[in-house]
């Protein structure tokens, strides 16, 4: 069995790049730093360490539990420091009397100035405002270009990590029953779509389970899965339990709000 048989076809280019970086780290005995990766990509790097010797993989996104992280590859004898990950904590400041920024607002504004998604990490929004973890090498560019969001003037300011505010992830819990824990059935219930309408974006590759694209509507979700649908949001699967009498499944999810 080929190494690539463990990954989806669309993941093969990333697997090739990841393996190349690991091999170069092993051969040259030097540190190498990636852009921001999602949890699935971090998993790929970690699973490929078996292909090299004495190479460590460590991801940091600015705080424990960060979703998007920069990955540092380094020889086992090295001891990385915080500065090696080149992370900058930036705060977006503006007049918040007129608009409450959402995650989508900030994401759209950063992409609009030409910044690639791989160059910034988690967007942290709470009652006090918004912070973004940015790759240090692009921070001056972002600071210069990001001057407004929703026509509201804003300023990007670098702040110390002691000012980091980690918002509590809020989820709305919901329970329902379905005939099967199929992906299309569950997504349809969560987002109030018919199964036929739920199948269309799934087959188009817009659904992910645990940050991995799943284009099979019949895929069975399980407790612990994180499911997302482009344009709709995401949710955590808490429970998938068959009911005793009807043969249906009771699904409990936590939908991000």
Higher local confidence (pLDDT), 44 or 245:
44
Break the chain into its structural domains and give their ranges: 3-81, 87-163, 171-256
Q: Identify the pLDDT of residue 219.
A: 96
The predicted pLDDT at position 99 comes to 64
d(CA 87, CA 65): 15
Nearest CA to 82 among 118, 136, 120, 41? 136
Q: What is the pLDDT of residues 79-97, one digit of tens each?
A: 999 999 999 999 999 876 6
Q: Across the chain, what does the average pLDDT equal?
A: 93
**What architecture (CATH level 2) is domain 87-163?**
2-Layer Sandwich (3.30)
Average pLDDT over residues 95-123: 89
Q: Note the pLDDT of residue 1.
A: 67
Q: At what angle do helices 39-47 and 12-28 cross, to 10 degrees?
A: 50
- Report the pLDDT value the prediction gives residue 133, as an integer from 0 to 100: 98
**Sign of torsion, CA 111 69 170 95?**
negative
Residue of 121, 32, 122 lying closest to 71 (CA atoms): 32
Q: Write down the CATH number for the domain with range 3-81.
A: 3.30.1370.160
What dotted CATH number matches 171-256? 3.10.290.10
Q: What is the pLDDT of residues 176-234, one digit of tens each?
A: 999 999 999 999 999 999 999 999 999 999 999 999 999 999 999 999 999 999 989 99
Residue ranges of alpha helices (H) inside 84-173 are 103-112, 139-145
Which pLDDT band holds residue 251 (cuts at 50, 70, 90)?
Answer: very high
The residues, any chain, with a CB within 8 Å of residue 14's CB and separated by 6 or more, are: 41, 44
- In this chain, the answer to whether the domains covering 87-163 and 171-256 adopt an identical fold is no
The whole-number pLDDT of residue 161 equals: 97
**H-helix segments, 147-203:** 183-191, 195-203
Other Cβ atoms less than 10 A from the Cβ of 2: the count is 6
> How far apart, in whole angstroms, are the C-alpha atoms of residue 231 and residue 251?
22
Question: How many residues are listed for the chain in this entry?
Answer: 257
Rg (CA), the chain: 21
pTM of the model: 0.85
């Amino acid at each position: 069995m080929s190494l690539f048989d463990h990954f989806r076809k669309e993941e093969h280019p990333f697997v090739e790049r990841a393996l190349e970086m690991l091999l170069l780290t092993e051969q040259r005995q030097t540190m190498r730093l990636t852009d921001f990766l999602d949890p699935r990509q971090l998993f790929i790097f970690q699973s490929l360490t078996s292909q090299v010797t004495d190479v460590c993989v460590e991801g940091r996104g600015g705080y424990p539990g960060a979703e998007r992280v920069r990955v540092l590859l380094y020889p086992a004898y090295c001891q990385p420091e915080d500065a090696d990950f080149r992370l900058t904590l930036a705060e977006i400041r503006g007049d918040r009397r007129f608009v409450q920024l959402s995650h989508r607002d900030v994401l759209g504004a950063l992409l609009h100035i030409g910044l690639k998604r791989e160059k910034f990490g988690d967007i942290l929004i709470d009652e006090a405002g918004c912070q973004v973890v940015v790759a240090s090498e692009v921070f001056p560019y972002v600071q210069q270009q990001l001057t407004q969001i929703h026509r509201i003037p804003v300023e990007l300011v670098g702040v110390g990590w002691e000012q980091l505010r980690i918002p509590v992830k809020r989820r709305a819990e919901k329970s329902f029953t379905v005939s099967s824990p199929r992906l299309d059935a569950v997504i349809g219930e969560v987002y109030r779509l018919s199964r036929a309408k739920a199948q269309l974006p799934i087959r188009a590759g817009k659904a992910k389970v645990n940050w991995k694209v799943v284009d099979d509507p019949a895929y069975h979700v399980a407790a612990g899965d994180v499911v997302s649908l482009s344009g709709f949001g995401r949710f955590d699967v808490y429970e998938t339990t068959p009911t005793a009498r009807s043969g249906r499944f009771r699904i409990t999810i936590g939908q991000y709000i």
